[in-house]
Amino acid sequence: MTRNETNANSSALLNVGSTASECSNPLELFTAVVNVMAFVINCFHLWIISRLRTLKGTRYRCVLINLALADIVNGLHMAAFYGCYKFFMTNFARGEPELRIPIAITLFMRNYISLHVFSLASMEKYLAICKPFSYDSSLIVRRLSVNFVIVWLYVFSLSTIFAVVEALDLIPWMTSMGMTVFRTTVFGVAPSLLSGALLIKVYRELRRTRIQSQNSSKDNDKMKAAMYLIIIFTLEMIVFILNSICVIVMHSIGVVVICKIWSAFIKAPYTTLNTIIYGWRTQSYRQYVHRVLGRYRRRIGTAEG
């Protein structure tokens, strides 16, 4: 297809059911607003985590920061994506490679980074609970922050490869659905199975040992950290499975609005659920939030007075 033909098809698709100046309909704009709120809440959550003294110097803090960063990336991308949905979808599907490639990279990063973060976090929790004697000597644990950087670079590199392959149609015999299934298997299913297997072993070990209140506070902290990760990973899997079903339905019958509604009412609220669960389970977190809100209310009262 020539450049002029591609531009003509893109313009035609962009203008279907809308004026040339229209970018998104109310549902898409509402989705963008919901994700902006999720982005702000997760930024606030990240700021609190970085300020909590009880987390300073702990490896748990590194895990929480990376989980929050994955949710921030999701909220930021979804807000921009649905803020101008027709533009992004047109260029993602039929645009020029210089636009398709960066859009695809950010889309793939947003879809799969949290699953890889969970994989590394699950390895750390598995060593902490099931292999405590080799925990401190493990290379995964001793270089945890570096390993998280490697995970982010790995996902970015694979996202770039898949984006280039799809944008330039380097595998012409593979259909769009086939490429989506292959990408999801490599990017989503593989790390999810790894995380699930490790966290099942962690959960069994927690049940077997039945850590009681007379154990040290360090043991109790490990148990709470492991249960927190198990809970949010389970919720992530529910969202991932339902989202995969949504994609299959969209490809099968072309009902794009299902994915829009799903994103608006389920995906974005899930990214804020991590902050709610952690805050509810952590007393120091709740106390810090109350102090911050109290100072803010006093400042507003002083300004009004």
pLDDT at 177: 73
User: Which pLDDT value is given to residue 15?
Assistant: 43
Say what the pLDDT of residue 91 is.
Answer: 73
DSSP secondary structure of 214-272: TS-HHHHHHHHHHHHHHHHHHHHHHHHHHHHHHHHHHHHH--HHHHHHHIIIIIHHHHH
- Residue 164 vs residues 105, 139, 251: alpha-carbon distances, Å: 9, 33, 21
Task: Using DSSP, state whether 145 is helix, strand or coil.
Answer: helix
pLDDT at position 212 is 52
Q: For 35-69, how does the pLDDT look when each residue is reduced to its tens digit (9 = 90+)?
A: 888 899 999 999 998 888 888 888 889 999 999 99
What is the pLDDT averaged over residues 125-146?
A: 89
pLDDT at 281: 77
Whole-structure pTM value: 0.80
The predicted structure's pLDDT at residue 160: 92
Mean pLDDT (whole number) for 14-20: 41
**Minimum mean pLDDT among 82-96, 154-168, 187-201: which range?**
82-96
Q: How confident is the model at residue 19 (pLDDT cuts 50, 70, 90)?
A: very low
Q: What is the DSSP string of 2-16?
A: -HHHHHHHHHHHHTT
**Structure confidence at residue 299 (pLDDT):** 63
Highest mean pLDDT range out of 14-18, 129-133, 279-283? 129-133
303: confidence class by pLDDT, cuts 50, 70, 90: low
Alpha helices by DSSP H, the chain: 3-14, 26-51, 59-83, 85-94, 97-130, 139-142, 144-167, 176-184, 190-209, 217-253, 256-262, 268-281, 283-304
Determine the length of the chain. 305
pLDDT top residue among 49 and 17: 49
Go through 88-119 and write b for each residue having 16 or more CB atoms within 10 A of its CB, e for each that does not.
bbbbbebbeeebbbebbbbbbbbbbbbbbbbb
* Tokens of residue 228, six digits: 């927190």
pLDDT-derived band at 16 (thresholds 50, 70, 90) equals very low
Q: How far is CA 114 from CA 66, 83, 110, 207, 226, in A?
A: 8, 22, 8, 27, 17
CATH superfamily for 3-210+219-304 is Rhodopsin 7-helix transmembrane proteins (1.20.1070.10)
226-260 pLDDT, tens digit per residue, is 888 998 899 888 888 877 777 677 666 655 556 66
Domain residue extents for the chain? 3-210+219-304
Note the Cα 150 to chain centre separation in Å: 17
Among 108, 40, 49, 109, CA closest to 75 = 40
Q: Is the pLDDT of residue 286 over 80?
A: yes
**Residue 215 clears pLDDT 70, i.e. is over it:** no
How far is Cα 135 from Cα 284, in angstroms, rounded to an integer? 26
Q: Tell me what pLDDT residue 296 has.
A: 64
How confident is the model at residue 274, as a pLDDT? 75
pLDDT above 70 for 107: yes
How far apart (Å, rounded) are the C-alpha atoms in residues 67 and 64? Answer: 5
Band (pLDDT 50/70/90 cuts) for residue 155 is: very high
